[in-house]
Amino acid sequence: MLSELLPAWRVKRIIRYLLLYAVAYGLTIIFALPFLWAVSSSLKPVNELFLWPPQLIPKTWRFENYIEIWHVAPLARFFINTVFVTVFSVSGRILSAALVAYGFARFRFPYRNFLFLLLLSTLMLPYQVTIIPTFLLFKAFSWLDTYNPLIIPNWFGGGAFAIFLFRQFFLTIPKDLDEAAKIDGANTFWIFLRIILPLSKPVVITMVVIGFLESWNDFFGPLIYLNTPEKYTLSLGLANFQRVVSAGGQATEHLLMAASMVMTLPSILVFILLQRYYIQGVVISSGSK
Amino acid sequence: MIVPIKQRLGLSTPLTLSQREALQGFIYISPWIIGFLVFTVGPMIASAYLSLTDYNIVTPPRFAGLNNYEYMFGDKLFWKSIENTLYYTVIFVPIAIAGSLALAMLLNQQIAGRVALRTLYFLPSVTPVVAAAFLWLWIFQPQIGLMNSIISALGLGNGPLWLGHPGSSKPALIIISLWGALGGNTMLIFLAALQGIPKELYESADIDGAGSVGKFRYITVPSISPVILFNTVLGVIGALQMFTLAYVASSGRQQQFSPGGPLHSTLFYVLHLYNSAFDFWEMGYASALAWVFFVIVLAITGFQLWTSRRWVYYEGED
């Protein structure tokens, strides 16, 4: 009777599905646990940090930790600094990458393919190879301990990845549109500004997300170029958090976890809101579209 | 006879249409050309020169021939950093590639909530590395940390000291990196590639009675082999550049030591370069390290591309 209702192939299928769901949803625990643990620790009072065995749910919820972090360290300052650097880096990358990509996508000139290959080859060049002379160059410019080294290079092409992404997208825009505007007497810059760029909203958003994540999370640049604590970005401020916080020898892990979550939240929000565009960009870059 | 300058430069004759197009093209790409010369070509030449000098930033560079390169061969920390970096790369990259592919295949199944799962898997990779380092330092805390609590609750005794001991510090960093990498870009790229495999291939394999292992081996892997190569090459380049995580994890609490501890067990190549340049201000030696790094990365990448001809299958070929 039972074997009629549940033939072997059906049992096999059900087991397969159960297993699939168990693995797929079970894995979320591994990915989420560090976040849950950090949030839990960030809401505990100091004396609960060192309880044995560890408690995921705090006995007393101490939401004040999230207020305290802004007082014990100049977190607001770091936050504003990071926003400043990120906004001007990302806008520079997008504007200059779009211009350069427009040149590669729409104009014929000698050595175009060679130059484009040269551009792509820089994707594989580790930035550490040039970091020392670049540092010395910025020192000669008296740019050390300013945001210039973090922002201004982004205004010169915005990197091979961004140019590549824009060019791929521009190539999909029909040339008829340019031609029609040209007949109406429009110059090439007007065409770029009024036709190409407005049609490229998806790839602009893609670069906003990718550029934001890179600038927001950058550590190496600020580490090398910024010295004055008031100028620190969040990543550098967070790395020095335990030195900055004077807790009189007391543990500060709950505050450290709270500050870490504050720094992480914008990245997570930007990604969740704009992930469609982000994923598109990553997929195009791999050439598997 | 005086020739007007305009005419001498050939500017009096109007440009042909294609000359104008070329000129405009160059103008549009000029930001990149300037940036490339100033921030890439110039520094590379300068760094080649600096690598032949003794330069402590205070006094001008003094030519020293190949001294820096000779010193490198006898520098124990140089060899230690090579060993650490290769250890990390050789263990991390294969697990990251295989794990990302497995996750992508999982998400390629008909599961309810696939999009939400994909987002959740991805979140660790958008977490700032500095924040991720602190999250995990806290989990790896030897006495009361979550990891060792779980280990002892499972009856496996006291867990290792993790980042506090040279024997367990690199495995700890590999675990943290895997958390941040498995559900990240690599997985997204694999997922897109898997979705691009024509369904008919699997259907005809079903008719031929192929099992799931056979389908994976003879359809999935060949179809996505260019993407496997892409992810591996970028994964290796990224792993060789390991820096931020190791820096923060080894110096986040006590900053009186050069990062890379304990006992230089997390001194990766770039960390050694960083310490030489910005901790000891040996700019000449650090430039030599940078050039050797460039050659190493180039050689490893070239080797992968060269051997890839044997296993990567491109559509439209043969």
The answer, for B37 touching chain A at a CB cutoff of 8 Å, is no
B27 and B163 in one domain?
no
Q: Give the residues across from B54 on adjacent strands.
A: B62
Helix, strand, coil % (nearest 5) of chain B?
70, 0, 30
Report the percent of chain B where pLDDT is more than 90. Answer: 72
Provide the Cα torsion B183, B187, B192, B195; round to 10°. Answer: -90
Q: What are phi and psi of B40, to 5 degrees?
A: -125, -60
Q: CATH number for the domain including B129?
A: 1.10.3720.10
Contact (CB<8Å) A286/B18? no
Closest partner residue to B131 (CB to CB) among A52, A157, A238 is A238
d(CA B29, CA B295): 29
B141 and B220 in one domain?
yes
Half-sphere exposure for B169 (CA within 13 Å, toward CB): 23
Residue for token digits 């994923």?
A: A279
Residue range B255-274: average pLDDT? 86
Contact (CB<8Å) B248/A260? no
Closest partner residue to B120 (CB to CB) among A28, A38, A137 is A28
pLDDT, tens digit, 9 for 90 and up, residues B141-171 = 888 889 999 999 898 888 899 998 899 999 9
B148 and B21 in one domain?
no
B148 and B166 in one domain?
yes
B186 and B57 in one domain?
no
C-alpha distances in Å from residue B139, one per residue of A42, A54, A69, B151, B270: 13, 10, 21, 12, 26
Nearest-CA distance from B190 to chain A in Å? Answer: 9
Contact (CB<8Å) A37/B139? yes
Read off the pTM.
Answer: 0.92
pLDDT beyond 70 at B318: no
Interface predicted TM-score (ipTM) over 0.90:
yes
Total number of domains in chain B: 2
Half-sphere exposure for B28 (CA within 13 Å, toward CB): 28
Between B241 and A50, the higher pLDDT residue:
B241
pLDDT of residue A3: 64
- β B53-54/B62-63 pair status: antiparallel
pLDDT of residue A248: 62
Half-sphere exposure for B177 (CA within 13 Å, toward CB): 26
B208 and B87 in one domain?
yes
B98 and B207 in one domain?
yes
Residue range B3-16: average pLDDT? 64
**Does the residue B281 lie in any domain?**
yes
pLDDT, tens digit, 9 for 90 and up, residues A132-152 = 999 999 999 999 999 999 999
A274: alpha, beta or left? (left if phi > 0; alpha if psi -120 to 50): alpha
**Does the residue B59 lie in any domain?**
yes
Q: Which residues of chain B does A265 touch, with a Cβ-Cβ cutoff of 8 Å?
A: none
B15, B127, B224, B275, best to mutate vs chain A, most A CBs in 10 Å: B127
B101 and B21 in one domain?
no
CB pairs under 8 A between A and B: 259
Own/partner long-range contacts of A245-249 (Cβ < 8 Å, ≥24 apart) = A245/A72, A245/A73, A246/A72, A247/A72
pLDDT of residue A81: 97
**Does the residue B119 lie in any domain?**
yes
pLDDT of residue A249: 66
Helix (H) or strand (E) holding A186: none
The answer, for B292 touching chain A at a CB cutoff of 8 Å, is no
B157 and B60 in one domain?
no
- Give the residue from B68, B95, B127 where a domain finishes: B68
Residue range B272-290: average pLDDT? 94
Mean pLDDT, chain A, integer:
91
B187 and B258 in one domain?
yes
C-alpha distances in Å from residue B174, one per residue of A103, B124, B163: 42, 14, 11
pLDDT of residue A289: 44
Residue range B272-280: average pLDDT? 93
**Does the residue B271 lie in any domain?**
yes
Contact (CB<8Å) B28/A99? yes
B124 close to B183: Cβ distance less than 8 angstroms: yes
B110 token code pair:
């008909």
**Does the residue B10 lie in any domain?**
no
d(CA B307, CA B300): 11
A255 close to A75: Cβ distance less than 8 angstroms: no
B246 close to B218: Cβ distance less than 8 angstroms: no
**Does the residue B199 lie in any domain?**
yes
B38 token code pair:
């100033």
- Give the residue from B68, B87, B107 where a domain finishes: B68
Closest partner residue to A32 (CB to CB) among B34, B46, B120 is B120
Q: Which residues of chain A does B158 touch, with a Cβ-Cβ cutoff of 8 Å?
A: none
Closest partner residue to A156 (CB to CB) among B39, B192, B248 is B39
Contact (CB<8Å) B144/A163? no
Half-sphere exposure for A18 (CA within 13 Å, toward CB): 6
Domain that holds residue B25: 17-68
The answer, for B291 touching chain A at a CB cutoff of 8 Å, is yes
B263 and B209 in one domain?
yes
Query: Residue B193: which pLDDT band, with cuts at 50, 70 and 90?
Result: very high
Contact (CB<8Å) A126/B27? no
**Does the residue B8 lie in any domain?**
no
d(CA B233, CA B225): 12
Cβ atoms within 10 Å, residue B195: 12
pLDDT beyond 80 at B256: no
pLDDT of residue B311: 87
**Does the residue B200 lie in any domain?**
yes
Closest C-alpha among A40, A79, A155 to residue B39: A155
B136 and B28 in one domain?
no
pLDDT, tens digit, 9 for 90 and up, residues B56-104 = 988 999 999 999 999 999 999 999 999 999 999 999 999 999 999 999 9
